[in-house]
Amino acid sequence: MSSSTTESRRRVVLKLSGEALRERGSTDNISPEIVDRMATEVKEAVSSGNLELGIVVGGGNFWRGAAASARGMDRATADYVGMLATVMNALALQGALEDKGVTCVVQSAIEMKNVAETFIRRKADRHLSEGRVVIFAAGTGSPFFSTDTTAALRASEMSADVVLKATMVDGVYDSDPKKNPDAKRYDRVSYKECLSKQLKVMDATAFSLCMDNHIPIVVFDLAPVGNVRRALVGEDIGTVVDAG
């Protein structure tokens, strides 16, 4: 954690998928109601003053670079389009947070001065230390990297205490729970066990960054109302991945 913060404050990077901002079955890319709920839960969590929060949001509700590349598009170009999609999601989330009185800054890895600050590590660190929520947009700024990797990278740069990965499942399983009704969910699992059993927590680059920098990962289900707040305030939820 940053030396400018007190021992009682917890620095967190929350990873949200872009798909999480879309209502299932809807043709709308962003659901204002879902974004509002997310903002409400974030406000409830940060209102105590004990939380420093960075958010990384994906762009899958608009665009997936890998899928476009598989259909013949240049991969680098496809990934840049995906980075711009994350900016749209970041701005929507920023607007909802500010409507609720949460001071929020969007920092983009791609320079776009009219809508967001350009990512600068020291400036982001200062924002967090001063209690502002920072939304990290446009991925890493380079193609071929996922927003999972962005979350792990920003967490490493910000000396975060934990990465919270909000997903559509309630933790890490020993096999696919959608295919195997007897799949076992872990409450806690080590980095080494994840590697040896090839458990899918994050992509390999993101996972390695967290493991090398000793940043625990908490995988939890985004869908139930209140789960984002619970994860942010450190309640027992989902699966914890750490050194064991």
Binding site residue list: 15-18, 59-60, 64, 79, 140-147, 167, 173, 176
Annotated binding-site residues for UMP read 59, 79, 140-147
DSSP string, the chain: --TTS-TT-EEEEEEE-GGGGS-TT-S-SS-HHHHHHHHHHHHHHHTTS-EEEEEEE--TTT--HHHHHHTT--HHHHHHHHHHHHHHHHHHHHHHHHHTT--EEEEESS--TTTSEEP-HHHHHHHHHTT-EEEEESTTSSTT--HHHHHHHHHHHTT-SEEEEEESSSSEESS-TTT-TTPPEESEEEHHHHHHTT--SS-HHHHHHHHHTT--EEEEES-STTHHHHHHTT-S-SEEEE--
Annotated binding site for ATP: 15-18, 60, 64, 167, 173, 176
